[in-house]
Amino acid sequence: MITMRILKWNLLPVFGLMIVFLILNIIITPGFLSLSSLAGFISSYAPLICVSIGSAVVMLGGGIDISLGAIVSLVNVMLITLFGKGWGMGAALGSALVVAILVGILNGFVIGFLRVNPLLATFSTSSVAAGLALWVMPTPGGQAPMDFVQLYNGLLFSIPTPVYFILIALVLWIFIKMTPAGIWLFALGRDERKAYVSAIPVQWMQFFTYVFAAFVSGIGAIALTGSVGSGDPLVGLPLSLNAIAACVIGGISLLGGSGEVMGAIFGAIFLGLVTTTVLAAQISPFYQDLLSGVIILMGVLGATWLRGKRTGLTY
């Protein structure tokens, strides 16, 4: 019962922010709650939600991954390139996911077994992945097959297809949480040394978190490709920091071991609602990024302050 109360409190700030901006969107755009409008919103922000889930798992284990956006870009251009060469949908999607997993394996090995600082390691792999994306496709271009785009932006069993991308990532996390690996993950994030003394496979757990994050980011990249329908070597780069912001707003500690993946999902939805609010308000493009940044900063500070006040960690 105590755990549930703490969990609900951790999610309360981001849930409140999400509701406020949902109401603002409804006021500014009366048809926002229509099926087509909601489907369009989910289609646009499913990639960020998937990347946020991956980033959340890494952060819960006490790490950080700033290479996920570059992985999304690399998978996007790889997918479009393979489609352009006449590959079938299954082969192209599978190969693109393998590329994402390989980057995750590199991250996990360098951080988990070679003990390189996560920030430095993922910065390096981000540069490598971004460079490969530019090498594969120097300029935006290409086109995804129409049946792939229609499938992604359509309905599957009366549910928008992008929802299934989010569910795949979420179900994978739920499965992990129900196994000993879920307990090990939180123990690792709280205190790596104690986790090691407790015979938790620290190196393998760190390795796993980065592979998992890369895999679900690959899923997000497939969703992004279905949404935009083309390739762009820079398209995913903003997602790394946006996902980290979504996690922090959603109550996940940068120090690790505290938080809930659902909070990261709420945080990603909040960021999406902020963007749609600013766009719907027809604010000058010169001020859109500034206003969005200020709102997000206020959201981060407000959510962090409320959680600190609740736990007695404010000064």
Residue 1 has pLDDT above 50, yes or no: no
254 contacts 66 by C-beta, under 8 angstroms: no
Residue 9 has pLDDT above 70, yes or no: no
Number of domains in the chain: 1
pLDDT digits (tens, 9 = 90+) for 108-121: 999 999 999 999 99
CB 24: neighbour CB atoms within 10 A?
A: 18
Residue 5 has pLDDT above 80, yes or no: no
Q: In the predicted model, what is the mean pLDDT of residues 204-217?
A: 94
Instruction: Compute CA 144 distance to the chain's CA centroid, rounded to the nearest angstrom.
Output: 23
pLDDT digits (tens, 9 = 90+) for 22-63: 888 888 888 888 888 888 888 889 999 999 999 999 999 989
Answer whether residue 228 is part of any domain: yes
Give the helix, strand, coil percentages of the chain, each rounded to 5.
75, 0, 20
Answer whether residue 44 is part of any domain: yes
Average pLDDT, the chain: 85
Answer whether residue 30 is part of any domain: no
Backbone phi, psi, residue 160, to 5°? -55, 130
The structure tokens listed for 250 are 């959603």
pLDDT digits (tens, 9 = 90+) for 70-92: 999 999 999 999 999 989 889 99
Q: What is the pLDDT of residue 91?
A: 92
**Residue-range definition of the domain harbouring residue 50:** 38-237
Query: pTM of the full predicted structure?
Result: 0.89
Q: Give the C-alpha separation, 170 to 184, whole Å.
A: 18
Answer whether residue 297 is part of any domain: no
pLDDT digits (tens, 9 = 90+) for 122-172: 999 999 999 999 999 999 988 889 988 888 888 788 788 888 888 888 888
Q: Give the C-alpha separation, 171 to 261, whole Å.
A: 11
Percent of all residues in the chain with a pLDDT value above 90, rounded to a whole number: 39
314 contacts 17 by C-beta, under 8 angstroms: no
Q: Give the C-alpha separation, 59 to 261, whole Å.
A: 10
Q: What is the pLDDT of residue 172?
A: 84
Answer whether residue 291 is part of any domain: no
Answer whether residue 257 is part of any domain: no
Answer whether residue 71 is part of any domain: yes
Q: Give the C-alpha separation, 58 to 61, whole Å.
A: 5
Answer whether residue 258 is part of any domain: no
Q: In the predicted model, what is the mean pLDDT of residues 168-197?
A: 85
The residue type of 228 is V
Q: Which long-range contacts (CB under 8 A, 24 or more apart) does 108-113 make?
A: 108/206, 108/207, 108/208, 108/209, 108/210, 108/211, 109/207, 111/63, 111/206, 111/207, 111/210, 112/202, 112/203, 112/204, 112/205, 112/206, 112/207, 112/210, 113/203, 113/207
The residue type of 296 is I
Q: What is the pLDDT of residue 305?
A: 66
Rg of the Cα trace of the chain?
19
